[in-house]
Amino acid sequence: MTQNEHPDMVSLPFRAMVLAGAVGGGVGLLVGWMVHPALPWRSVMHGALAGGGGYLLGSIVLMPWVARPLEQWMAIWPGALLSRLLATGIMAWLLYFRPPEGDDGFRTALVVSHVVSIFLDAALLARWSRSLDQNPVQES
């Protein structure tokens, strides 16, 4: 029997994914505050919370702690990106309260935290997949 007939079951690094969401939210908070320092802190904080929290909720939908074959994870990941985008949109809608001065800080923090979280997620999943000591490409 070959290795492809019995795929190894692996789970994703959930703690690292939580850290990616937290770092993304923190970076979004910092950038939103630096770009719009005169705006209310609450607006920027809600934007960062929506971006980082939406990423985390979308990751929980993925159930990364469940062990699955590696090929299944690679098929699920594009759907996880969509679930993260939807969760971020829902959180932004729930946390959005238009301040009298405008919503630029909210939007800046939201976009930056979501994009940073997604980039960190891609980097950590690439590093995680390289660490599995598997070569999914079989030479003939």
**pLDDT band per the 50, 70, 90 thresholds, residue 23:** very high
Which ranges of the chain would DSSP assign to H, the alpha helix?
A: 14-35, 41-62, 70-95, 104-130
Q: What is the pLDDT of residues 73-93, one digit of tens each?
A: 888 888 888 888 888 888 888
**Full-model pTM:** 0.74
CB 3 within 8 A of CB 66: no
